[in-house]
C-alpha cells in the first residue's frame, strides 16, 4: 500500500475517533454525561484510532480482508470506550463486530479464493471462545462472558491471519492486563478486589497480533 493510501486510512481512523465518545455514551450504564470529562473526548480518541487504522494499513495493506479488519477495529474502539466507562461489553456491539467479521471474511475468501483462510478464521473463533470459557470457569476467575464473546469474535480475524497470530492474540492480552494490574497495585491505585476492564486489553492484544502476524 502506498504512503498516500496509508495516510488516507489513518485519516479515516481519525474521523472514527471523533465519533467514538458519542457512540459509546449510547451504551454506557448509567448513561454518561452529555459533555465528556477531560480525557474522554474525541481529541484523545482521534490519535488512538488513527494509529490503529494506520498500523493495520501498513502491515495488512495487501490483505484482501483489510476493510474487514478496519470495520472490526472501529467497533472495537467503541467497545473499549464503553468497557473503560462502565465495565461492560454490550451484546449489540459484540454481535455487530462478529457479524462484520464473519460476513466480511466470507466475502473476502470468496473473492480472493481463500477458502482455507476462512476455515482458519472459524477455527480461530472456536479456539479463542473455548479457551476463554475455560478461563471463565476457573475458581476465582473474574473473566466475564462478555469478554468470552469478544475473544471469540476476535478469533475470527486472528484465525484468518494464521496460527501464530492467533496464539499471540490469545496470550498477549492477558500479559498486558496482568502487567497493568501489577503496576496499578504497586502504585496503590487499585486494590486486589478492584474490578478492571479486560476488553481493552483483548482488543489491544488482537491489534498487536495483527501487526506482528
Take residue 19 and report the three cell numbers written for it: 465519533
**Distance in angstroms (rounded) separating the CA atoms of residues 97 and 180:** 26
pLDDT, residue 33, reads: 47
**Distance in angstroms (rounded) separating the CA atoms of residues 31 and 12:** 27
Q: How far is CA 180 from the centre of its chain?
A: 17
Per-residue pLDDT of the chain (213 residues; tens, 9 = 90+): 889 999 999 999 999 999 999 999 999 865 544 444 444 555 788 999 999 999 999 999 999 999 999 999 999 999 999 999 999 999 999 999 999 999 999 999 999 999 999 999 999 999 999 999 999 999 888 899 999 999 999 999 999 999 999 999 999 999 999 999 999 989 888 888 788 899 999 999 999 999 997
Kindly report the number of other CB atoms within 10 A of residue 39's CB atom: 8
pLDDT, residue 213, reads: 75
pLDDT, residue 44, reads: 83
**Distance in angstroms (rounded) separating the CA atoms of residues 130 and 124:** 10
Q: For 27-162, where are the alpha helices, taking DSSP H only?
A: 42-60, 66-86, 91-112, 115-137, 145-161
pLDDT, residue 39, reads: 43
**Distance in angstroms (rounded) separating the CA atoms of residues 8 and 136:** 40
pLDDT, residue 30, reads: 58
Helix (H) or strand (E) holding 35: none
- DSSP character for 191? -
40 touches 21 (CB < 8 A):
yes
Q: Where are the domains of the chain?
A: 3-212
| Dihedral sign (CA 187, 192, 194, 195) | positive
pTM over 0.85: yes
**Distance in angstroms (rounded) separating the CA atoms of residues 86 and 108:** 35
Amino acid at each position: 500500500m502506498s504512503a498516500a493510501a496509508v495516510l488516507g486510512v489513518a485519516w479515516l481512523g481519525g474521523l472514527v475517533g471523533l465519533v467514538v465518545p458519542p457512540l459509546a455514551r449510547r451504551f454506557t450504564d448509567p448513561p454518561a454525561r452529555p459533555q465528556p470529562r477531560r480525557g474522554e473526548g474525541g481529541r484523545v480518541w482521534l490519535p488512538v484510532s488513527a494509529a490503529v487504522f494506520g498500523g493495520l494499513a501498513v502491515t495488512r495493506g495487501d490483505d484482501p480482508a483489510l476493510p474487514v479488519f478496519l470495520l472490526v477495529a472501529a467497533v472495537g474502539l467503541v467497545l473499549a470506550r464503553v468497557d473503560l466507562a462502565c465495565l461492560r461489553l454490550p451484546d449489540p456491539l459484540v454481535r455487530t463486530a462478529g457479524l462484520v467479521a464473519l460476513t466480511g471474511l466470507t466475502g473476502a475468501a470468496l473473492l480472493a479464493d481463500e477458502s482455507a483462510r476462512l476455515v482458519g478464521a472459524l477455527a480461530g473463533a472456536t479456539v479463542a471462545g473455548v479457551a476463554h470459557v475455560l478461563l471463565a470457569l476457573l475458581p476465582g476467575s473474574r473473566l466475564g462472558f462478555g469478554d468470552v464473546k469478544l475473544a471469540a469474535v476476535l478469533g475470527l480475524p486472528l484465525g484468518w491471519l494464521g496460527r501464530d497470530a492467533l496464539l499471540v492474540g490469545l496470550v498477549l492480552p492477558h500479559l498486558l492486563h496482568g502487567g497493568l494490574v501489577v503496576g496499578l497495585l504497586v502504585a496503590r491505585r487499585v486494590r486486589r478486589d478492584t474490578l478492571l476492564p479486560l476488553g481493552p486489553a483483548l482488543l489491544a492484544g488482537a491489534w498487536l497480533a495483527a501487526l506482528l502476524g
